[in-house]
Amino acid sequence: MRQIGMATALCALMGTHAVAEEFKWAGTTDPQTLDPHAVNSAPVLGFLNNVYEGLVRRGKDMTIEPALATSWEPIGEGEGWRFKLREGVTFHDGAAFDAEDVQFSYERASGEAADTRSWFSPVASLEVVDPYTIDIKTNAPNPIFPDSIANWMIVDKGWAEANAAATPNKEEGNFATLNANGTGAFKVTAREPGLRTVLEPHDGWWGEAEHNITRAEFTPIQNPATAVAALLSGDVDFINPVPIQDAARLASNPDVNVIQGIEARVIMLGFGHEAAELKYTGDAGKPNPFQDAKVRQAVAHAVNVPAILQTIMRGNAEPASQLVSPAMRGYSEANAARPAYDVEAAKALLAEAGYPDGFSFGLKCPNNRYLNDEAVCQGVVSMLAQAGITAELDAMPVQNYWPELREDNFDMYLLGWSPGTFDAEHPLRFLASTPNAEKKLGSWNFGGYSNARIDEMLPIIQSEIDDTKRQAMLDEAAEILQDEMAYVPLYVQPLVWGVRSNVEMTQRPDNFFILRWVTVN
Amino acid sequence: MSTSIGLRLRNALDSDFAYLFLRSPVAVLSAFVVIVLVLAAIFAPLISPQDPFNPIELNLMNGFTPPGTPNAFTGESFWLGTDDQGRDVFSTILHGMRISLFVGVSAVSFALLLGVTLGLLAGYVGGWTDTIIMRVADVQLTFPAILVAMLIFGIAKGITPVEYRDQMAIWVLILAIGLSDWVQFARVVRGATLVEKGREYVQAAQLIGRRPGAIMLRHILPNVLSPVLVIATISLALAIIAEATLSFLGVGAPPTQPSLGTLIRIGQGFLFSGEWWILLFPSLTLLALALSVNLLGDWLRDALNPRLK
């Protein structure tokens, strides 16, 4: 009798196991919006990669593979690219996908209101050839163009227009901020900003499902210790990131696996280059010392990166010397050395620049965006103090942080950058080009750094097919940025994911969590 | 002059109050703990080995030094260890306690001033004044004090400009806790005033034509003060805990001026990674402070209650 009872219980257990594969995960940051063109940041794009799709997508090894386009080929002598679109694809609401949607999404994502417009700076025009063929004409030959549009997600034209969301609205939001209608493997069935977002498989998806999930729920958990506790107790199946101080302890727990890797993201300090005056502290209104490259170099010498890596990052990160990590294409081997930690050199540079007694300024920092971001900023403040300059730290959640930066409310700030194309050209376009809304350049260059030679080289780098020549120019750009210390690169952020041991998944170096590669055993 | 002070001291030591105090080990011990902690907080800048909020004095390489063992890189040693930024935990506790006590005492003083004034008015004037004041108090009593404090804190935070938020945080905290706490004072004082109002000495004062304000302050107030003293002591413990709770939830004292609650919140992040000292010592300090103030308040209530004698 007892055995039968056991067997029934076992059956019941296995039965529920096979039927409903609920997957719950938690992250520090809630995606600010569900609009794929409103905010160009990894938490948003990474999350929406499960819901929306682009013409191409990245595979487990980051290679480009077909998604909504089945094939593509260059047109003529570097005039552009022709994409053949996939037939029989439907959006979550059942509408059919065709070239009209691609054209609409191009206009939507490259328009003035879109945060993603820098992606389209090489594009001259998009032409519809037939309902399943489009031509994208580029300003100059662009060999890496298909690599650069994996995060350009396609929105249904009819849906967006019917819901008054034909243009993205970053500040106030619109229908597309809270609702999504993509072609991806998962559809959003519930969205409560800051609380939870529920995804369910899209039955009409064109692809072959690798996952076995029937329902997935994302919850933002801001407190890292709470997230760890939730993972250990099984309340969630996956957390990203694992607080770096807890990685060792979690790894020793048999119920949990820690997946560790090096992210493509470089953490750096940025400056107000354009501002004529300091904006914060008692020195507000005085001339901005950061306009002088010597002061920026002094900052680079004053920050003890090995100490940050040793204590705050617990030996889990690598120092960075330029805007991309060594794993990226176009990394400059010639500029691999980072300015040494040398307080005396920093003081000498400050004296040379005319600030022997230092000065004080405001440092802005997010407190829930990067691993231990606020702790890193606090460390930077005390290191700068030892070199004689006083920083007043203002740390805030990322929802407030980007608007502050966009309004130029900083003297110095912390930024992490992960090149979406995995190429050194990407940060040049976003961070080092003179900001130019019309040419869609420098859209994340908050400080307004400007260098004529870099502006001149960027289009040549974008169209250069010869790898040696291209690398020579990327080396030159890296050298300029290092000499002028436009940004102070600190370190390459590690990726630390924590997952219950009954779950299998793939970690991609861009820190995107792809739900369709998850299997719950 | 000196003999009169000596006399007063002798009288004080001979009083029932002092006798009861010295006969109660709990009272003596908790008073001793409170005095030590308050003195430590007041003289924190003099006795703390490091100014934890002066970035020049911090060395990141000292981060996560366990208590009493020398740091592996710098060889420096810290009595209660260091946090992630290399701050001496002992120094942060002393400075944090300063803020906790300052907020607690200020909030209770504010609540006392407000509650006693409104209670006297309600009890003595009566009528509509009484009804309005006491109904507001009743409504507020239906909300937990911490919720009221969070509400006030949220509103104040919303209307202060971003630049001043950190500087204002401490004052807003005092306002929020004080406003959430005045009701008890008002109720007790009103009750006692209603009793005193009918006494002969008050009638006598009314007959000789003293103004109501003078009667309330000079005649009634001194006679209702002993329960107020008891409530104030117990409220102080509650205010310290309320401040710690708000700061723990991240809505109180900012990390640039951490109170004990903020320190506990920061320490909680290292709970799983083995750096127990960052969490444990601020928590123990808060426990010792709140518990001894509370025990002192309890004892005071018993000692001042004629019915228990």
C-alpha triplet A441, A446, A106: angle, nearest 5°: 35
- CA–CA dist A440, A119 (Å, integer): 8
- CA–CA dist A472, A44 (Å, integer): 34
Identify the three-state secondary structure at position B154: helix
- Name which of A223, A311, A386 is nearest B56 (Cβ-Cβ): A386
- CA–CA dist A333, A323 (Å, integer): 13
- Name which of B55, B256, B269 is nearest A243 (Cβ-Cβ): B269
Q: Which residues of chain A have pLDDT under 50?
A: 1-19
Residues 6+ apart with CB under 8 A from B159: none
- CA–CA dist B300, B236 (Å, integer): 13
CB pairs under 8 A between A and B: 66
- Name which of A243, A245, A382 is nearest B60 (Cβ-Cβ): A382
In this complex, do B269 and A224 lie within 8 Å of one another by their Cβ atoms? Answer: yes
What distance lies between CA A308 and its chain's CA centroid? 22
- Name which of A375, A382, A391 is nearest B58 (Cβ-Cβ): A382
- Name which of B73, B256, B272 is nearest A225 (Cβ-Cβ): B272
> What residues in B contact A361, CB-CB < 8 Å?
none
Q: For chain A, what is the total number of helices (H) and then of strands (E)? A: 15, 19
**Residues A41 and A402 sit within 8 Å (Cβ to Cβ):** yes
- pLDDT of res. B146: 82
**Distance between the two ends of chain B, CA-based, in angstroms?**
35
Give percent above pLDDT 70 in chain B: 97
> What residues in A contact B166, CB-CB < 8 Å?
394
**Residues B185 and B117 sit within 8 Å (Cβ to Cβ):** no
pLDDT in tens, A459-499: 999 888 888 999 999 999 999 999 999 999 999 998 899 99
In this complex, do B64 and A223 lie within 8 Å of one another by their Cβ atoms? Answer: no
Please classify residue A156 by burial: count the beta carbons closer than 10 Å to its beta carbon, then call 0-12 exposed, 13-18 middle and 19+ buried: buried
Q: Which DSSP string corresponds to A271-329?
A: E-SS-SB--SSTTTTSB-GGGSHHHHHHHHHH--HHHHHHHTSTT--EE-SSSS-TTSB
Q: A225 touching B, CB under 8 A?
A: yes
Identify the three-state secondary structure at position B101: helix
Residue to mutate among A226, A309, A311, with most B CBs inside 10 A, is A311
* Sign (positive or negative) of CA dihedral A243, A247, A253, A257: positive
pLDDT in tens, B69-117: 888 888 888 989 998 888 999 999 999 999 999 999 999 999 999 999 9
The pLDDT-based confidence of B306 (bands split at 50, 70, 90) is: low
Q: Which residue of A has its CA nearest to B268?
A: A225
- CA–CA dist B92, B49 (Å, integer): 10
Q: B84 touching A, CB under 8 A?
A: yes
In this complex, do B61 and A248 lie within 8 Å of one another by their Cβ atoms? Answer: no
Q: Which CATH superfamily is domain B26-52+79-308 in?
A: MetI-like (1.10.3720.10)
> What residues in A contact B56, CB-CB < 8 Å?
382, 385-386
Tell me the two tokens of residue B64: 């996560």
DSSP classification of residue A69:
E
Instruction: Say what the alpha-carbon torsion angle A367, A487, A512, A41 is, to the nearest 10 degrees.
Output: 70
pLDDT in tens, B214-271: 999 899 999 888 889 899 999 999 999 999 998 888 777 777 788 999 899 888 888 8
User: ipTM score here?
Assistant: 0.75
**Residue-range domain boundaries for chain B:** 26-52+79-308
